Amino acid sequence: QQQVKQSPQSLIVQKGGISIINCAYENTAFDYFPWYQQFPGKGPALLIAIRPDVSEKKEGRFTISFNKSAKQFSLHIMDSQPGDSATYFCAAQDSGSRLTFGEGTQLTVNP
């Protein structure tokens, strides 16, 4: 069973546009929700993360919105740039440190 569901599978936006990726989880034991960015040939790297006691976290152009009651969270990339083109993974972590990943979103930002 897929405990973290991510959509869309792929996303194409124009430079300067807003990229939005959505995730939903089922396990209420999850207490840490990171987003990872992966470039081809590289390992995933932490982009931004949120805990369920806050509804929003912003770091530069990247914002996580979190809805605890709906068990959903999303990543917004403002002013998307071609350099943002990568695969993005949402994840959820329980206190045992196991990361459960979403299926990934291939983002392409056209110049």
Partner 1 sequence: DTAVSQTPKYLVTQMGNDKSIKCEQNLGHDTMYWYKQDSKKFLKIMFSYNNKELIINETVPNRFSPKSPDKAHLNLHINSLELGDSAVYFCASSQGGGQGRRAFFGQGTRLTVV
Binding site for partner 1 (CB under 8 A): 32, 34, 36, 38, 41-46, 49, 87, 89, 93, 95-101, 103-104, 106
Q: Least CB distance from residue 32 to partner 1, whole Å?
A: 6
**Burial status of residue 73 (CB atoms within 10 A of its CB: 0-12, 13-18, 19 or more):** buried
Measured from the CB atom, the residue of 18 and 45 that comes closer to partner 1 is 45
Measured from the CB atom, the residue of 69 and 97 that comes closer to partner 1 is 97
Measured from the CB atom, the residue of 40 and 111 that comes closer to partner 1 is 40
Q: Among candidates 39, 75, 44, 82, which has minimal Cα distance to 60?
A: 75
- The strand pair at 10-14 and 33-38 is best described as unpaired
Q: Least CB distance from residue 36 to partner 1, whole Å?
A: 8
Q: Which 8-state DSSP code applies to residue 40?
A: T
Q: Among candidates 101, 109, 61, which has minimal Cα distance to 83?
A: 109
Q: Least CB distance from residue 81 to partner 1, whole Å?
A: 22
Q: Least CB distance from residue 45 to partner 1, whole Å?
A: 7
Name the phi and psi angles at 75, rounded to 5: -115, 130
